[in-house]
Structure 1
């Protein structure tokens, strides 16, 4: 009888730092309780949201490190029943923000004799950043190029990897990532990417697609969505989370 390949749910979520935290925390708690992604990549993490996630995801592990970026910007949670941590790191890719990095973990699936999985996340610089407005240069192009440089240091084109996060862009950085062999989960399924910001009625803003899940190597998405979620008309963040179910391909 053939063995069913491992399937797991991944998510990326910009948590909006601590803005309006008291009004949003219950909504975030309920979202995580109901959805329980096996791998969760975070941007704009803060100590309050990290504590909430630690309590809401008791069967998950995250990176514990003295570098402040791991609890003031980004982190990665993974289901301990499915994956073991091999190694982790945080790489400079040209951010204008003090604590932002390309955060990554290498995970070993516990079942089916699968190869390691590299999981990475980043929050590219906002296009309204004062320095970018002054220089007139799209810094996200450099950040995307450096992302590929880092990914290629840790993997070959055949290795399984996930890169996800808030790219604050939907064109040139995506083109750079795609030219390096990465595919976003929506395009892989022949679907149009969804709007991920804003989450109305929590925030009114010009609709944008900023949050992405991309993959390369021995992985295939089975479904994906940018999730609308509210408790009493309050969303957990100004961004929608993007969730996707992946499976490892047969060897």
Structure 2
């Protein structure tokens, strides 16, 4: 037997224009709460907003600051229950940034899944700007090493990420035995950043340069093991013309074996 679940990853854009975006974020997660959610650039206000918008969900509670200021992981309590969780240092250049993970038991049987997330370093991080050396590729290598250590035999392993990468870091993950939900369906992943139109930007340039940020695919749900991708979507959602973030969420349906 199998269970169909909707998984989603979403970079919540930190504190940028938070007051203007709060209604859009609340409306989105009230309207279409996924069964599994991984977030990046989480803050206390956005974490609490998601708790309120998804009352049927639980998340990781832990004193480590990264669960509040970087990422967190939610799950539908009718379908999953927590077994254990953790946060592993994989060399990401941001305070309290980690590979965050939770092992969840699937309702109705002994099956577990490993649900994880990490936000690989933005190319404008200080180390990369100074050295000119890509920082995401070694981070991806450390991620797949940790997932290999954490994953149990015959356990579906999911890695939901803002990779900030379009090449080598993605190849590292793929060559470690993972597919993203679009590739698994023989599809090209659509762009996930930036959201357009962005009503908060007066120019198309970035804080680092006047050159516009190109449309690119950097947000993924990777997986391996006994799970099957059934659908994949880059979610477009606006409330009164305002999007919840400058990243589109990625949502995918997976069939999980229950026995």
CA distance in 2 between partners of 1:72 and 1:169 (Å) = 22
Work out whether 1:219 is the aligned partner of 2:215: no
Aligned to 2:216: 208
Of residues 145, 148, 155 in structure 2, which corresponds to 1:149? 145
State the match for 1:248 in structure 2. Answer: 256
Q: CA deviation at 1:208?
A: 1.2
Give me the whole-angstrom Cα distance separating, in 1, the residues matched to 2:58 and 2:124. 34
Residue 131 of structure 1 corresponds to 127
Secondary structure of the equivalent of 1:6? strand
Q: Is residue 114 of structure 2 the alignment partner of residue 118 of structure 1?
A: yes
- Give distance in 2, aligned partners of 1:47 and 1:102: 19
Which runs of structure 1 show a deviation greater than 3 angstroms over 4 or more consecutive aligned residues? none
**Partner Cα separation in structure 2 for residue 250 and residue 194 of structure 1:** 31
Contact in 2 for aligned 1:158/1:216 (Cα 8 Å): no
Q: Deviations over 1:170-219 (max 9, x none)?
A: 21111111111000000000110110011111255321111000100000
CA contact (8 A) 2:3 2:258 kept: no
CA offsets 1:86-105 (integer angstroms, 9 cap, x no match): 00000000011111100000
Cα gap change, 1:114 to 1:8, in 2 (>3 Å): farther
For 2:96, which of 94, 99, 102 is the aligned residue?
Answer: 99
Distance in 2, matches of 1:147 and 1:236, equals 28
Q: CA deviation at 1:165?
A: 1.2
Q: How does 1:1-251 map to 2 (within 5 A)?
A: 3=1, 5-111=2-108, 113-156=109-152, 158-202=154-198, 204=204, 205-249=213-257
SS of equivalent residue, structure 1 residue 32: helix
* TM-score relative to the length of structure 2: 0.92
Contact 2:111–2:257 (8 Å) recurs in 1: no
CA distance in 1, matches of 2:122, 2:110: 37
Over the aligned positions, Cα root-mean-square deviation in angstroms equals: 1.3
Provide the rounded CA distance (Å) in 2 between the counterparts of 1:157 and 1:179: 19
8 A Cα contact 1:157 1:181, kept in partner: no
Aligned length: 247
Query: What is the TM-score of this pair, normalised by structure 1?
Result: 0.95
Shift in Å, 1:162:
0.5
5+ residue gaps, structure 2, are 205-212
List gaps (5 residues or longer) in structure 1.
none
| Further displaced range: 229-238 or 148-157 | 148-157
Aligned equivalents of 2:187, 2:179: Cα separation in 1: 12
CA contact (8 A) 2:42 2:69 kept: yes
Superposition deviation, residue 114 in structure 1: 5.0
